[in-house]
Amino acid sequence: MKMMRKPFFSYGSHSMRRKKPAKEEHRYDDFVAKLKEMDEMVSTDVAALRGDIELASLELREAQRKLVETEKAYIEAKTDLFLKKEKKELLTSHLCAYIKRNEIEKAKTLSGFVGKLELTASPSKPVKSSDADQKDQKPEPQEAIENEGK
């Protein structure tokens, strides 16, 4: 009888070797699938974030536009306030000047009228102060001392 040599690759080990690459290939496929799934999740999250960023950008532009409009309105209101304040002060100074001129005119008219009264009163008889006029006038300090003694 001849001795049979065992083949280098035994049937049992050969099937194991075939199973091992298949098992590794299956693990590799699982790994690739998980990577694809993660990439899809990342892509979805990135797309959502980009949408949120775009929305935030639009809101930011709108807020900036409103700020510019509000600042413009504030400056216009401030300018309007300043101009109206200037106008009020100018009108007030005109009023004061008008009142002062009017008072001066009244004083001139009154002094002219009093002067005419004195001229008409002096030729016929001298003007005397009445007792009522003397009571209205304050006595001089010397006269007050003398009157106290009486």
Domain segments of the chain as ranges: 16-121
* Whole-number pLDDT of residue 96: 97
- 20-38 pLDDT, tens digit per residue, is 677 788 888 999 999 999 9
Q: Where are the beta strands (DSSP E) in 23-129?
A: none
pLDDT at 116: 83
- Kindly report, residue by residue over 55-112, the tens digit of the pLDDT: 999 999 999 999 999 999 999 999 999 999 999 999 999 999 999 999 999 999 999 8
Query: How much is the pLDDT for 11?
Result: 52
Structure confidence at residue 69 (pLDDT): 98
Cα 84 to Cα 72, 80, 89, 94, 96: the distances in Å are 18, 6, 9, 15, 18
